[in-house]
Amino acid sequence: MIDPYSPAREEGNGRHCVTFWFTQMKKFLARCVISISILLAGTFTFMSQTPSVEGQVKAGFLYNFAQFIQWPNQAFSDREMPFTMCVTGDSVEGVLEKTVERQTINGRRIAVRRLGAPDNLHGCHLLYVGKLEAKRTTEFLGAASRAFATEGLPILTVGDSEDFINVGGMIRFTEAGNRVRFEINPDAAERVSLRLSANLLRVADIVRPR
């Protein structure tokens, strides 16, 4: 019988701790590799012309964008606050909700909120302005800017409109043939204290307003 306080027991506990942390680290690295692989694969995903497939591709992008960007602490009121994706003008109802179901961002559950007006951005961490609301892009981006100016709350803005970057947006989806890519204006993100991963920038088309 081994004394629970013996050196042999301590050595066994030590091996157990090392094995536990090694296992946890492998799981963490595996999640990182999977996320990067999804992002890289999605960058060149071929779409059919059906809105549902396009919606699935873009929903996957939105989820991965959030994983490769760091929000400052003031963006969250407490540890229980969810990471909130706010969506307007999205033609495919429910696709984003299904994509992020049971997923988390830095340990926070993800909530999806459908917007009808640009004056309801409080609590949003990511704003996606879809094609159906492209004409109101400036309104929504203006509301996001005011949220940061008045409350210090940074919002990652993503959209589809051709002039999205030029009017202050951060990430714009583009289509070439049947491929979906994305452009990023890193200056717009940095102005509201959002830190973009080098891995994300590496697979994006970097642009600035004209």
pLDDT attached to residue 51: 62
Q: How far apart are CA 170 and CA 193, in angstroms?
A: 12
Over residues 15-33, the mean pLDDT reads 39
Please, what is the average pLDDT of the chain? 82
Residue 182 has pLDDT above 60, yes or no: yes
Strands 156-159, 83-88: pairing is unpaired
Q: Tell me the per-residue pLDDT of 50-97, one tens digit each, with 9 for 90 and over.
A: 667 888 999 999 999 999 999 999 999 999 999 999 999 988 888 999
Using the predicted structure, report yes or no on whether residue 47 has a pLDDT greater than 50.
no
Query: What percent of the chain is predicted at pLDDT more than 90?
Result: 65
Average pLDDT on 38-56 reads 58
Could you tell me where the DSSP H helices lie in the chain? 7-43, 51-67, 95-100, 137-151, 186-191, 198-202
SS3 134: helix
Rounded Cα–Cα distance for residues 112 and 43 (Å): 23
Q: What is the pLDDT of residue 50?
A: 63
The pTM of the full predicted model, rounded to 2 decimals, is 0.78
Average pLDDT over residues 128-152: 95
Residues 6+ apart with CB under 8 A from 120: none
The alpha carbon of residue 21 and the mean position of all alpha carbons in its chain are separated, in whole angstroms, by 27
Rounded to 5 degrees, what are φ and ψ at 74?
-70, -10
Domain residue spans of the chain: 44-206
Tens-digit pLDDT profile for residues 147-180: 999 999 999 999 999 999 999 999 999 988 778 8
Query: Rounded to whole angstroms, how far apart are CA atoms 168 and 185?
Result: 9
Class of domain 44-206: alpha beta
Amino acid at 204: A
